[in-house]
Structure 1
Amino acid sequence: MNERQLERIACETYKILFGVSASFVQTELTFYGCVVFLASERQKVVIKFSKEVGRLTKEINGLERLAKIVDCPVPAIHFYGQQEGFDYLVLEWLDGQSAHELPLDKTATTTFSEHYTDILLALHECSHEQGFETSPQCFTPSLNEAFEHWMEPVYRYLMSAASPFSAQLKDDYQALWEQQTDILAPINHGSSLVHDDCHIGNVLFDPKTYRVSALIDPCDVGFKHREFDIFHLYDVRPDLGLADVYFSKTEKADGFEQRRWFLSLWDDAKHSRNIGWYDEAWLNHKFDNYRQECA
């Protein structure tokens, strides 16, 4: 993505929407795209661009759904547009620091961990009587059926000649695909509403109180299983032990340690399909951990 071009589009959009030029402009490249922070005395906003076609429309849906449930702010949506072939989303700029910058002070880590896991537990208590959401307004009572619906396009991409995956990794993923019924069996019931990308890089905290100040960047919000969120708690700042705090408040299903790596591996495959990401050593390391838990 051309950072300067996207910054120019963002600044032009800001002036059209708010009638003034931004006096503060900061641009950050992210895993999935580019974010431009803009501010003036009139308004502070964040303008997001994505590498993945259609991702921003999913984010709009996710933010609207989360805003109805969680007891912390999520960004309001100001505008969704397109310019020069780029979709972009203009969002409210919420105050707070990224939780991956949380200090190691015990008061900070304990306060944040307790509050954030409470937020997730409340979110996950929202279930749907029809089960797991395969698409808007479409459900199946079986997680196995839903998982195949969600991941079969990813699996086809992964196994195709066009994918960057090595022959060995393709064999490993094929075996993983064939194991899905057994791996998911202990959680093949009981849906939860999930954020679907809830690592703490997508959480803001108040630097005065250390409580969660905002939840941002939802991915595929929907009725899945809570473990589709929980495995993300290991992704950033595992030293906080967020999954342990979460499970101190609720029961852990049998086989979680295996599914943690199973779901994480499929999440990485999804990223590869969405934006072309690929890290063979990273994936091999995760397969080693998965096999160790299965032994």
Structure 2
Amino acid sequence: MFILEQGQVERLCQSYLGGNATSVEKITGFQADVYLVQVGRLRAVLKCYRQPHQAQREAQALNQLRQYVHGLALPEVIAVHQPGQPGEALILTYIHGAPASHELESPIEVDRFADDFVDWLRGLHAISCEKGFQDEAGQWYSQFAEAYQADLHARVAWLNGAAAAQWISKPLREDLIELAGKFNQLPLSNRQTSSIIHGDAHAANFLVDPDSHRLCGVIDPGMVRFSHCELDLVQLDTVRPDLKLLGNYLNKSDFDAGIRLRLSFFEVFSDIRQIAQTGVCDESTLLRKISKVQRLLDAAALASAV
């Protein structure tokens, strides 16, 4: 795991922002340490990643998402430091705002944010592409199942590799590989068109104005691409589930009855991607999620047999 060197923040400020920081605020994140810095009149964000190959991906995701986000602020990329190497960092412009996960308290503000956010996200998901669906590598497919199968194959290849063996026990890896083979048992979604997705949509990655507490900014996109909107629902309730973002989204939509099963399946393999990026694995949680998917699969099979 990469540990930030003494003076690294100062060197980044001097190299990319033109001077020394007069103030530094550190935020410890799951995949990176984030530093809010002031250099002269300029406020900026330094994201120092623990694993390489994340900074360039996020820079590309921000630039792609900018084409489709209107009315909300997004950080601009100032520079990518040492891409693909230990110690890589992303230098971004600062957006005035606070994460909704940390700022919202009153029931009125919570309900208003949930409505604003879900309406905005549904609007984003309404943007489609006639080329179809992309996998995480950016390849295009006419059907979502083909794109997602490509990503599943990449997950299985990783689970069979040496890195996964360091962090996940062999029985659990075998269970995960078996579950990946059951993708074709999932009921097809009644949504057949692609959507542009944020890729890591939850309350900590959307900002509210500190005064009005209204939605004002978007940060930390994941794998931005044209895919299925359901992939963007998986993380909605992982941070501040009391905001009930997933329930709000589903209440405003017309998904078929298989939505909960598909989301449970997608969540498991979203977790595998995160483990590959961070090296952190909670086996007991993964086992519970696998069991949930299997119960829902069994119930769906029973219902179809009646």
Partner residue of 1:46?
Answer: 45
Q: CA deviation at 1:161?
A: 5.6
Q: CA deviation at 1:133?
A: 1.0
Q: CA deviation at 1:9?
A: 2.2
Partner residue of 1:281?
Answer: 284
Contact between 1:75 and 1:216, CA under 8 Å: does it hold in 2? yes
Contact between 1:25 and 1:38, CA under 8 Å: does it hold in 2? yes
Partner residue of 2:125?
Answer: 124
Contact between 2:21 and 2:37, CA under 8 Å: does it hold in 1? yes
Given the alignment, which residue of 233, 240, 249 partners 1:237?
240
TM-score of the superposed pair, with normalisation by structure 2: 0.88
- The 3 A distance-change label for structure 1 pair 59 and 4 is closer
Partner residue of 1:159?
Answer: 160
Q: CA deviation at 1:120?
A: 0.7
In the TM superposition, 1:177-216 aligns within 5 A as 177-183=180-186, 185-186=188-189, 189-216=192-219
Q: CA deviation at 1:168?
A: 3.2
Q: CA deviation at 1:85?
A: 4.5
**Number of matched residues?**
294
Matched to 1:185, the amino acid is L
Matched to 1:78, the amino acid is I
Q: CA deviation at 1:155?
A: 1.2
- The 3 A distance-change label for structure 1 pair 17 and 274 is closer
- State the secondary structure of the residue aligned to 1:21: coil
- State the secondary structure of the residue aligned to 2:130: coil
Q: Does 1:263 align with 2:266?
A: yes
- State the secondary structure of the residue aligned to 2:254: coil
In the TM superposition, 1:31-42 aligns within 5 A as 31-42=30-41
CA RMSD of aligned residues (A): 2.2
Q: CA deviation at 1:291?
A: 3.0
- The 3 A distance-change label for structure 1 pair 160 and 189 is same
Matched to 1:223, the amino acid is F
Q: CA deviation at 1:136?
A: 6.7
Give per-residue Cα distances to partners, 1:160-218, cap 9 Å, x unaligned.
Answer: 46523234323321331121012162268311110110111111111322211211011
In the TM superposition, 1:29-178 aligns within 5 A as 29-70=28-69, 71-82=71-82, 85-134=86-135, 138-160=139-161, 162=163, 163=165, 164-178=167-181
- The 3 A distance-change label for structure 1 pair 207 and 168 is same
Alpha-carbon separation, structure 1, partners of 2:217 and 2:280: 28
Alpha-carbon separation, structure 1, partners of 2:290 and 2:105: 30
- The 3 A distance-change label for structure 1 pair 25 and 179 is same
Partner residue of 1:19?
Answer: 18
- The 3 A distance-change label for structure 1 pair 277 and 184 is farther
- The 3 A distance-change label for structure 1 pair 137 and 267 is closer
Give per-residue Cα distances to partners, 1:227-279, cap 9 Å, x unaligned.
Answer: 11111112111111111211222212331111111111001111122222211
Aligned sequence identity (%): 25
Alpha-carbon separation, structure 2, partners of 1:137 and 1:290: 27
Partner residue of 1:247?
Answer: 250
TM-score of the superposed pair, with normalisation by structure 1: 0.91
Alpha-carbon separation, structure 1, partners of 2:177 and 2:139: 27
Contact between 1:143 and 1:187, CA under 8 Å: does it hold in 2? no
Matched to 1:211, the amino acid is R
Q: CA deviation at 1:292?
A: 3.5
Alpha-carbon separation, structure 2, partners of 1:275 and 1:151: 19
Q: CA deviation at 1:12?
A: 1.7
Contact between 2:132 and 2:226, CA under 8 Å: does it hold in 1? yes
- The 3 A distance-change label for structure 1 pair 161 and 50 is closer
Stretch moving more, 116-125 or 176-185: 176-185
Q: CA deviation at 1:142?
A: 1.7
Alpha-carbon separation, structure 2, partners of 1:60 and 1:19: 21
Unaligned runs of 5+ in 2: 300-306
- The 3 A distance-change label for structure 1 pair 292 and 102 is farther
